[in-house]
Amino acid sequence: MTATAHTEALLEALRRNLHVLGELAVRYQVETLPERDPDAPDISSPEGVERLLGPEMETLAQEQVRVLLLDRRNRVVGQRVIYQGNAYSSVIRPAEVLRPAVLEGVPHIIVAHNHPSGDPSPRPQDIRGTTELARA
């Protein structure tokens, strides 16, 4: 194995470990949350999602795709970062988006992503990705 191949293998292992660590941190946060406030914002609407994710996601320098995991009453029981792209784009594969919902056994999800450019207009790849997710 060359030094470059060895370095790439180590970097890939590190990426996987960091992903697992991120998942554990999110699960710990969800499991240690106090009892939910009955007056919590309604996250079954775009405005509710904006109130929940907007303050954090609007400051990100890179595009990020997140999945909110919802119970039968549309309460958030988890949140996963699916992809973090560059300043201009991210790639969405339906299987990666749906996997957390299947693993956690939740009936509903909301997919959200930011536009670091500040322009909220959907780009052609946003429309294609949404169409692919709807088909899945």
Residue type at 65? Answer: V
The CATH superfamily label for domain 40-135 reads: Cytidine Deaminase, domain 2 (3.40.140.10)
Domain boundaries, the chain: 1-33, 40-135
Note the pTM of the prediction, 2 decimals: 0.66
CA–CA gap between residue 60 and residue 98 (Å, rounded): 23
Which pLDDT score is estimated for 91? 65
Q: Token pair for residue 43?
A: 């996250």
Residues of the chain with pLDDT below 70 are 18-42, 86-91
Residue recorded with tokens 């590190």: 14
Q: What is the pLDDT of residues 14-38, one digit of tens each?
A: 777 766 666 666 666 555 544 544 5
- Angle (CA) 89 55 64, round 5°: 20
Which pLDDT score is estimated for 40? 47
**Reduced to 3 states, what is the DSSP secondary structure of residue 44?**
coil
CA–CA gap between residue 57 and residue 66 (Å, rounded): 10
Which pLDDT score is estimated for 28? 62
